[in-house]
Amino acid sequence: MKKYVISAAAVVVAALGFASSAHAQVTSIVKPVRLGVSLGAAIPTGDFGSAVKTGYNVTGSLALQPVALPIGFRIDAAFNQFGFKMGGGNANVFSVTGNALANVIPGPALGAYVIGGPGYYHESLSGTVVSGESQNHFGFNVGAGLKIPLTGFDTFIEARYHRISENGGSTSFVPVTVGVLF
């Protein structure tokens, strides 16, 4: 009987040791200021989707998470490029957005969040007859993501709908990105 108790105690101690080290590896880093980068596909929607193909997105981020608040903030500077379906050339969208970020399902190993806010968008054309034509407009974005903490940094997968208000219309697209926050 004593042999079984000692064996059981050894198994419990080993299990606790493994659980503790596994939890330490996935615990999210709590830093009030973080830098990040993400990239992925940018999917055009609406009338914009009729004129251009799926493009790409590259984003740089500054994330702010006040310890005393349940929400965080993120400033994103993004570049999106879409090739025209007919003929050559590209439609380019550069944006700076200010976003609120709220955890929907917080957790040490995996967390879901919603994100959104206003933005300033610069649209331009390149490689076309009207190259150099550009416009600046305000817009907004809203989306959701999954945060996956790793040792030393967090990764995330995110999709956001962007809508740019224009004179007599709008441009809209959905970047689906994968990124890291340090």
Q: What is the pLDDT of residues 46-75, one digit of tens each?
A: 999 999 999 999 999 999 999 888 899 999
8 Å CB contact between 16 and 50: no
Q: Is the pTM of this model over 0.85?
A: no
Residue 12 falls inside a structural domain: no
d(CA 68, CA 71) in angstroms, rounded, equals 9
117, 95 Cβ separation under 8 angstroms: no
Is the residue at 20 inside a domain?
no
- Tell me how many domains the chain contains: 1
Q: Judge whether 15 lies within some domain.
A: no
**Residue at 78 is within a domain:** yes
Residue 16 lies in a domain: no
The reply to whether 106 falls in a domain is yes
Residue 8 domain-assigned (yes or no): no
Question: Residue 166, Cβ neighbours under 10 Å: how many?
Answer: 14
Q: What's the CATH number where 120 sits? A: 2.40.160.20
Q: In this structure, what token pair is assigned to residue 120?
A: 């300033």
Kindly state the tokens that stand for 100: 């609120």
Q: Identify the domain containing residue 69 by its residue range.
A: 29-181
In a domain, 6, yes or no: no
pLDDT one-digit tens code per residue, 131-173 = 678 999 999 999 999 999 998 899 999 999 999 999 889 999 9
